[in-house]
Structure 1
């Protein structure tokens, strides 16, 4: 079952690369003014290091040593207009990414990573995605999950260290406090392992961002479906984006780069290519999360 999932991932990744070569837009070129705004260390080195989780499709899809997906395509486009190479490094889980950025081992994470007020205390977020959090369940939704409020008495898988884990853990505490059946939270380090728990019957649902869950559902040959769509599920407006150190001058440069990609149509083309047209953010910004 796990090999089938990764085979499907590889197939979409290859398709994405092929589509990337069929762009009808004019090729991108270095924007000298934006390049000159980069911190000197990046201009001198001619490169930056972006850290990823390697398993956040359709944004991040790691195939061997190569990163594919919407974030990889956006990274390539930013590299063209900034005039520096963007190299990719993979670590396990969000905490390792944020710690690595704060320690200076990595320059940024293109993400997208959830932008929340609490996280803005340590990092700045360059938001380029609007997201929703829902459930992936087995076809027919046997546990009857229709929203966060109906999750008591179920087993929910979730990615460790993320905002969804905090929300579902709070929901589990509410279930216990209100004398309702126990909500069991199962935390995993990546998306494929989390979704595998549902497919294998060890969990009733995977609680996560709608975009990657839509991808997994599409690749499941009818085995999975989405639940809780259109519900708040414990979240207000949810913005996601790139992560840099707090106060880093790199943040405004990345923001202007994304705006240029929007003006040229490349941002819209990349998002649509990966089925993310409903997640496009018309006005990217820094620290939009409230």
Structure 2
């Protein structure tokens, strides 16, 4: 599924990054704070004059789509975002330990439409949906592929394992095979991974892809699954795995930046392009619909295209947001 040399690759030595949160874009925060202050002043008037009437409208018009948000989000002024922040260029910590990447930049554009902050919290990828359904997060933005299994809360065998989620699909990308520079094992396709050792991130669509391919092999693939993709990359770099199956933008970014472009390369074609979705709780339909409206708005006003151009992933763009478009 999904590059800038000025944004360094997170270390592939497995060293942890701080789990600090970044409050994105003061514009959204100031707009909300200002509207709340004006509304409070308006409450002290009789509302019959220009000042009182204007104050009431100020809260409603702090951002174009603010009034579409659930009341709890309006009151909080924050949307809590669950994310695995170690997946450059989608989301990662930059050289200043600030959250950077495609998703944070899109979140900043969405803030301007919704008038609330998107506050990113770091977590392990395969625990994000649990965190969403327990109330720890309001949404998930983490290069998460929209699948029917995730929509319905099913495991790989079709067994119910938890609550499902809804997705607002905003990006489209497939998987790629990342190998050591020079491709010493001559890997060109999934079929070439049969009988080999492959590293990848646990709980991702790429793990499902490797498992499905392994079932087709005469000699199965040995799959090494890790909590962080940086750990998987380390296995390839050190020769303990012949390849990492990764989202296309992430694979391309690592090939371009790691070791000055001397560590890895992408081989073969992009595999099974599918939508990334912003995950929202099944019962949280008002928030879901507000997010969809905001994504459509930034597509229409050009902010979406600017972000994708910045990170060189315009081939993954969608023309409009969709709900639960995954298969």
- The bucket for the TM-score relative to the shorter chain is 0.7 to 0.9
The residue aligned with 2:237 is 199
**CA distances 1:75-120 after superposition (whole Å, capped 9, x unpaired):** 111112211111111012x221110001111100122310011111
Counterpart Cα distance in 1 of 2:174 and 2:185:
21
Displacement of 1:283 = 2.3
Unaligned runs of 5+ in 1: 11-20, 22-27
Is 1:187 matched up with 2:225?
yes
Count of residue pairs the alignment pairs up: 262
Query: Larger Rg: 1 or 2?
Result: 2
Counterpart Cα distance in 1 of 2:6 and 2:311:
17
Displacement of 1:278 = 1.2
Q: TM-score, normalised by structure 2?
A: 0.75
Indicate if the aligned counterparts of 2:139 and 2:279 stay in contact, CA closer than 8 A: yes
The residue aligned with 1:273 is 310
Counterpart Cα distance in 2 of 1:283 and 1:84:
22
Displacement of 1:31 = 6.3
Cα RMSD (Å):
2.4
The residue aligned with 1:118 is 149
**CA distances 1:6-55 after superposition (whole Å, capped 9, x unpaired):** 98237xxxxxxxxxx9xxxxxx9976451101000000111111011011
Indicate how the Cα distance of structure 1 residues 48 and 169 shifts in structure 2: closer, same or farther if over 3 A, else same.
Answer: same
Displacement of 1:65 = 5.4
Equivalent of 1:229 in 262, 269, 288:
269
Describe the SS at the equivalent of 2:203: coil
The residue aligned with 1:239 is 275
The residue aligned with 1:48 is 79
Is 1:73 matched up with 2:117?
no
Displacement of 1:251 = 1.0
Q: TM-score, normalised by structure 1?
A: 0.84
Is 1:106 matched up with 2:129?
no
For 1:46-195, what aligned pairs fall within 5 Å after superposition?
A: 46-63=77-94, 66-92=98-124, 94-121=125-152, 122-175=164-217, 180-195=218-233
Unaligned runs of 5+ in 2: 11-24, 26-30, 33-60, 153-163
Indicate if the aligned counterparts of 1:55 and 1:192 stay in contact, CA closer than 8 A: yes
Counterpart Cα distance in 2 of 1:162 and 1:202:
20
Higher strand share: 1
